[in-house]
Structure 1
Amino acid sequence: MKRKILKMLTAFSFAAVLTTSFSAVGVANAKTEQSDEISCAAKSAYVLDFDTGTVVYAKNENEKLPIASMTKIMTASIILDDVKAGKLNLSDEITVSEKAAGMGGSQVFLDANSTHTIKNLLKAVVIASANDAAVALSEAASGSEEAFVKRMNDKAEKLGLSNTNFVNATGLPALNAYSSAKDVSYMLKNLLSHDEYFEFSKIWLEDYVHPDGRKTTMTNTNKLVKFYQGCDGGKTGYTTEALFCLSATAKRGDTRIIATVIGEQNGKQRFKDVSDLFNYSFKAYENEVVVRKGENIGKTVKVEKGKQSEVEVYADENVSVFKKRAGDDNVEIVYELSDSVKAPVKRGDVVGNAKIVKNGVVIKTVELKAADNVGKENFFDTIRRILSNW
């Protein structure tokens, strides 16, 4: 199938952009727009743009460190993966085991053998970092916490998180449990792809209502959802080994930033450092969306032997450029479309891609897909087409 290449030279002044697929290649190739204007007190830190993956700041980002309850980012991600796949439903009720009910640390004090919805347990994990809820969910999803941990490590490998190893679903202290600021940032990036996550992550205060009517007040451990404009998600962590940790996200306009710090000396410092990292990112950069996800790009592809002769094309995700506000880079967008496709065509069929090219280097690729269903022409359609061409 031949392709035609259409170039659109932008008149914008763009900074570096990066494609970040959830693969080993995408994580490894993250490009840094490092600045000496910012710093933080954490042992390790990482800041990136959500849409393009451009790295704004990095400090010891690959150092293997304990991450405490930030582990639950992966726990929540797998549960929502299973919901998306239809393996679990948020309304499903599950029974809490003795093991789950007996977990120490942060918890919502679940009773053994009580039943709870997956939605409520997930909410307790996201808001209150509840260890008992995390273990209950892991057992519901995989039969045992041990089997669930294997899935966590398998997914980490799939995402290209080479400096990560999970030992439990909670982040409680354990030998050989570690991750890095960079890996945690990509974990959170993956979790943010689930819209359901934001139903819970923005809640500041809520009561957990137990089956017997008992209530446990949950306060979001991520104070930035209340005190930082635009912050709508994230996960804290603390143990004596990990010290104070935070991976959080904030969005202003079309720009969403993820910032992670590990090993802060106190809770106040982790929130200050992440706030400062957000402030710098929003002040120095902006994310300009050239084509929005689901938006037709104004181009068509010919359909052979179809009920219509061509089909419109849309972008599978945002085609966006993360740029320095004072930057001066020229970028061209290259559309590579198939010369033609054969009917039948289904909406969502890949018919090409859009590439953002900076200084001759492809820095982001987005799939372009058919915007409509096009059926195969029948005998009468063929006759009409032939007659119309006479």
Structure 2
Amino acid sequence: MKRYAYITGMALFMSFILALPVLAEEQEKQADLNLTEDAKASILLERDTGDVLYEKNAHEKLPPASMTKVMTLLLIMEAIAEDKLSLDEQITISERASSMGGSQVFLAEGEQMSVDDLIKAIAIASGNDASVALAERIAGSEEAFVQLMNDKVKELTLENTNFVNSSGLPAENHYTTAYDMAMIAKELLKYEKVINYTSIYEDYLRKGEENEFWLVNTNKLVRFYPYVDGLKTGYTSEAKFCLTATAKKDDMRVVSVVMGADSAKNRNAMTMNLIDYAFNHYESEKLYDPGEKVASLRHIQSEKWNYDIKTSEQISLLHKKGEKEAGEVETAVKIKEDIQLPIHKGEQVGTMTVKKGDNLQIESPLIVEENVEIASYFTLFKRSLQNIAKYNQ
């Protein structure tokens, strides 16, 4: 009888030991479910692939507050990349821009400020006045700029976002979702220079002048939490505390969105939970750098004979740590057929696809980083003579 009891006890003990890994895994899963317990909505994704690593009510429409400025910054960075705006250009502040309420850097009507400083004011201090000033410069009016914002929403095929202003001040019918905000941030991060602004913790406007203004980043994590280098906080009484954040470790960049937290402290804590989860459980394998040449464009009517085709963003594969998927990685470049000239700098001319086995992993735009102009008559004539000479050799 005692021997039977001993064997039974040992069996129960061994069952318990064998069950420990399963219990630990279940506890980890349960902990994962509570990464953003106190948020109305949240999401975590890897930037290069867009793979969603965690989500909670990610498609619920909510007010974004100043996270709206992620889209504003996207259109600003696009304009700079397309040479429609330069960092040293001086912008004259309008009466409308100077009169904006909420968070501001107290721009005066008629004051002139560089694009570079206005971007700092948006990215660091969430200046509503600076947002309107650049919106007016790019589109002529804030209303026209808002139309560009919503056009971009459609271009990104986002279905649950509508903007009414460029700043995020409370307004009827101004909403987005955690998922849509993450995808806007993913697009913004193609322009890596934006991190030069969003990662600044403190700076000054009008430094050394009588009306010098101290900028302090509303996103405290850029100073106090490793790897975080952006992007944008938000708060209104309706939206509560929100944060679209990004962090990079080694070659892996993630984007997190937390919406509707009850305090800045909880918002930051939930953001840290998401980022820790990403870096603890996943790793990425970089395939191409942004701006890496992958092909050449030749067009019989172009001014130059060869133009470099480059990646528009970093291209990577994502996998769980210690669990690389089977299958060879295959990349392919497809150039658009019947390309019409001229082609503007930054315009998409093709697509890079990445497959692993039979599974399509990534489709990424390929671009030209210079204008492709229509050849002059002189260039075409000279090219014809060169072809005739080759033919007669």
* TM-score under structure 1 length normalisation: 0.76
Q: Please identify which structure carries the higher strand content.
A: 1
Q: Do residues 188 (structure 1) and 182 (structure 2) align?
A: no
Deviations, residues 165-208 of structure 1 (Å, cap 9, x unaligned): 11111101111110000111111111111233122111111121
Partner of 2:328: 332
- Tell me what 1:159 maps to: 156
Question: Which of 93, 98, 101 lines up with 2:95 in the alignment?
Answer: 98
What letter is aligned with 2:360?
Answer: V
| Paired position in structure 2 for 1:116 | 113
Maintained 8 Å contact 1:331/1:356: no
Pairing 1:201–2:198 present: yes
Give the corresponding residue for 1:71.
Answer: 68
User: Structure 1 residues 49 and 99 mapped into 2: Cα distance closer, same or farther (>3 Å)?
Assistant: same
Q: Secondary structure at the match of 1:151?
A: helix
1:362 deviates by 1.3
Task: Decide whether aligned partners of structure 1 residues 365 and 164 sit closer, same or farther in structure 2, where only a CA change above 3 A counts.
Answer: closer
Determine helix, strand or coil for the equivalent of 2:241: strand
Question: Displacement, 1:279?
Answer: 0.6
Q: What does residue 3 of structure 1 align with?
A: none
8 A contact 2:246–2:255 mirrored in 1: yes
Could you tell me how far 1:285 is from its partner in structure 2?
0.3
Q: Is the 8 A contact 2:331 2:355 kept in 1?
A: no
Residues 124-273 of structure 1: matches in 2 within 5 Å? 124-209=121-206, 213-273=210-270
Q: 1:323 to 1:140 in 2, by over 3 A?
A: same
Q: What are the residue-to-residue correspondences of 1:346-357 with 2, within 5 Å? A: 355-357=353-355
Q: Give yes or no for contact 2:286–2:315 (8 Å, CA) kept in 1.
A: yes
Counterpart Cα distance in 2 of 1:120 and 1:352? 35
Q: Shift in Å at residue 248 of structure 1?
A: 0.6
CA shift at 1:316, angstroms? 6.2
Q: CA RMSD in A?
A: 3.5
Task: Indicate the residue corresponding to 2:361 in structure 1.
Answer: 363
Once residues 201 and 98 of structure 2 are traced to their aligned partners in structure 1, the CA distance between those partners, rounded to angstroms, is 24
Cα drift, residue 236 of structure 1 = 0.1
Q: Larger Cα Rg: Structure 1 or Structure 2?
A: 2
- Alpha-carbon distance in structure 2 between the residues aligned to 1:165 and 1:66: 10
Q: Alignment partner of 2:192: what SS?
A: coil
**2:69 and 2:309 mapped to 1: Cα distance?**
38
Q: Structure 2 vs 1, CA of residues 35 and 293 (structure 1 numbering), >3 Å: closer, same or farther?
A: farther
1:253-299 CA-to-partner distances (Å, cap 9, x unmatched) read 010010000000100111111111101100100001134455578x9
Give aligned pairs, total: 335
For the 8 Å contact 2:332–2:354, the answer to whether it is kept is no
Consecutive unaligned residues of structure 2, counting only runs of 5 or more, are 1-27, 298-306, 338-345, 369-382
- Structure 1: stretches of 5+ with no match in the other structure: 1-33, 302-310, 342-347, 385-390
| Structure-1 separation of matches of 2:194 and 2:60 | 28
Q: Normalized per residue, which structure has more helix?
A: 2
Out of 59, 81, 85, the position equivalent to 2:78 is: 81
| Pairs within 5 Å for 1:20-39 | 36-38=30-32, 39=35
Task: Name the counterpart of 2:316.
Answer: 320
Shift of 1:337: 6.7
Shift of residue 350, structure 1, vs aligned partner: 10
SS of equivalent to 2:165: coil
1:124/1:312 CA distance change after superposition, 3 Å: closer
Residue identity in the other structure for 2:161 = T
Residue identity (%) = 40
The higher-RCO structure (CA 8 Å, 6+ apart) is 1
Q: Could you say which residue in structure 2 is the equivalent of 1:22? A: none
What is aligned with 2:58? 61
| Separation in structure 2 between the aligned mates of residue 350 and residue 143 of structure 1, nearest angstrom | 26
